[in-house]
Amino acid sequence: MPGLGLTPMPEGVLETLGRASTASITSELFKLGIRHSFMTGVAPLSPGDKMVGEAITLRYLPYREDLNAKQSVADPEHPQRKTIDHIEAGQILVVAARGDVRSGTLGEILMARMKARGAAGMVTDGAVRDAVGIRSVGLPAFVGGVHASASNTLHYAADAGLPVSCGGITVIPGDILVGDEDGVVVIPREYAARIADISVHHDELEVYLFERITGGESLRGIYPPNEQTLRDYDIWKKNK
């Protein structure tokens, strides 16, 4: 299931996006008409965590006694276990947990499996358990909270590979996710290459504007930049 069979990203797109800030990406998506792209209430578990990759999804529904009784995490077809066991390099697991943080969605051993498979990270609007253990794994986790309870005290692992809501944003399998200190932005797959190109420029320009503002200039004409400022930027860029 994790293999999504999608047209591969052009080379360099993910690398470029990985160097961009989520603030820049969110701004550029907005200019392209995508206002809803950044998750609310989801933060890096470890300060400094950064990630970029392709979304695969896992959907949790509320615990229901009869349904949970029918499934076992020992079953290799269990949606959570199967998805994690077969995650592919560069993928990011999105665990849609209805924003309910009264239970963990997974812990360190499942994170370790994903790390071993080469996954790029995980994100959930629920909680994770064993924060210390997860940090020791070293795979970036962006989470709605921390809670020691196991997932099956609150959740029913319904299915994988479907569109989901996470942190208030719809995620389609194959979307590109970027995570940094601010949190996680969802880039519709077909926008990724374009956003990568723009974001390089956006970040560089911001560095330039930041320098000028830090140097004591007024916002006027600088932020946002007017024509003259953009010309000055071009010169600065060439001379760098």
**Least distance (Å) between residue 66 CB and a second copy:** 5
Q: What angle do CA 138, 6, 16 make, to 5 degrees?
A: 50
The answer to whether the CB of 103 falls within 8 A of the CB of 151 is yes
Q: Which residue has the tokens 């959740």?
A: 155
**Least distance (Å) between residue 217 CB and a second copy:** 8
**Residue 236 makes contact with a second copy by CB under 8 A:** no
Instruction: Name which position in 98, 193, 204, 236 contacts a second copy (CB under 8 A).
Output: 98
Choose the stretch contacting a second copy; rule: CB under 8 A; options: 4-12, 192-200, 213-221, 231-239: 213-221
**Residue 93 makes contact with a second copy by CB under 8 A:** no
Using DSSP, state whether 78 is helix, strand or coil: coil
**Least distance (Å) between residue 73 CB and a second copy:** 6
Instruction: Name which position in 1, 85, 200, 204 contacts a second copy (CB under 8 A).
Output: 85
Instruction: Name which position in 1, 4, 61, 193 contacts a second copy (CB under 8 A).
Output: 61
Nearest to 54 by CA among 167, 163, 189: 189
**Residue 52 makes contact with a second copy by CB under 8 A:** no
Choose the stretch contacting a second copy; rule: CB under 8 A; options: 3-11, 130-138, 192-200, 232-240: 130-138
**Least distance (Å) between residue 15 CB and a second copy:** 19
Distance CA 78, CA 94 (A): 16
**Least distance (Å) between residue 12 CB and a second copy:** 23
Distance CA 49, CA 5 (A): 28
**Residue 38 makes contact with a second copy by CB under 8 A:** yes
Instruction: Name which position in 121, 126, 174, 183 contacts a second copy (CB under 8 A).
Output: 183
The answer to whether the CB of 42 falls within 8 A of the CB of 180 is no
Residue type, 31: K
Q: Name the burial class of residue 231, with classes exposed (0-12), middle (13-18) and buried (19+) by CB atoms within 10 angstroms of its CB.
A: exposed
Instruction: Name which position in 88, 149, 194, 204 contacts a second copy (CB under 8 A).
Output: 149
| β pairing state of 91-96 and 51-62 | parallel
Nearest to 95 by CA among 181, 192, 167, 29: 167
Instruction: Name which position in 110, 119, 143, 177 contacts a second copy (CB under 8 A).
Output: 110
The answer to whether the CB of 232 falls within 8 A of the CB of 222 is no
Distance CA 206, CA 239 (A): 17
Judged by CB, which is closer to a second copy: 89, or 162? Answer: 162
**Residue 188 makes contact with a second copy by CB under 8 A:** yes
**Residue 71 makes contact with a second copy by CB under 8 A:** no
